[in-house]
Amino acid sequence: MRAGHRRCDTWRRDARRASQTRHATRGGRSMNKGYFQIYTGNGKGKTTAALGLALRAAGAGLQVYLGQFMKSMEYHEIGILKERVPEIQVELFGMGCIVDRDAGIPDIRAARTGVKRALEVLRSGSYDLVILDEIFIALYFNLITREDLENLLEAKPSGTELVMTGRYAPEWLLEKADLVTEMREVRHYYEAGVEARDGIER
Which strand (E) or helix (H) includes residue 184? none
Q: What is the pLDDT of residue 32?
A: 87
User: Is the domain of 100 the same as that of 168?
Assistant: yes
Please state the domain count of the chain.
Answer: 2
Q: Is the domain of 6 the same as that of 93?
A: no
Residues 7 and 35 in one domain: no
Distance CA 131, CA 182 (A): 16
Per-residue pLDDT reduced to its tens digit, 129-163: 999 999 999 999 999 999 999 999 999 999 999 99
Residues 17 and 97 in one domain: no
Q: What is the pLDDT of residue 5?
A: 56
How far is 138 from 144, CA to CA, in rounded Å? 6
Q: Would you say residue 198 lies in a domain? A: no
* Distance (Å, whole) CA 72 – CA 68: 9
Domain containing 184 equals 31-192
78: in domain: yes
> What pLDDT is attached to residue 17?
57
Indicate if 44 and 109 belong to the same structural domain: yes
Whole-number pLDDT of residue 111:
97
Q: In this predicted structure, what is the pLDDT of residue 61?
A: 95
The per-residue pLDDT for 77 is: 84
Using DSSP, state whether 180 is helix, strand or coil: strand
* 9 and 85 together in one domain: no
47 close to 56: Cβ distance less than 8 angstroms:
no
Q: Is residue 202 part of a domain?
A: no
pLDDT tens for each residue of the chain, 202 residues long? 555 555 666 656 665 555 444 444 444 556 789 999 999 999 999 999 999 999 999 999 999 999 999 977 777 788 889 899 999 999 999 887 776 777 889 999 999 999 999 999 999 999 999 999 999 999 999 999 999 999 999 999 999 999 999 999 999 999 999 999 999 988 887 778 888 787 776 6
Distance set, CA 128 to CA 17, 38, 117 (Å):
20, 16, 16
- The answer to the question of residue 199 being in a domain is no
Residues 22 and 75 in one domain: no
Phi, psi of 143 (to 5 degrees): -80, -25
What integer pLDDT is reported at residue 85 of this predicted model? 94
Whether 197 maps to a domain, the answer reads no
CATH number at residue 122: 3.40.50.300
pLDDT of 23 reads: 42
Residues 23 and 119 in one domain: no
In a domain, 94, yes or no: yes
Q: Are residues 116 and 52 in the same domain?
A: yes
Strand partners, 131: 66, 163
- Cα separation, 146 vs 90, whole angstroms: 24
Same domain? For 25 and 47 the reply is no
Q: Verify that 23 and 35 share a domain, yes or no.
A: no
Q: In this structure, are 49 and 96 located in the same domain?
A: yes
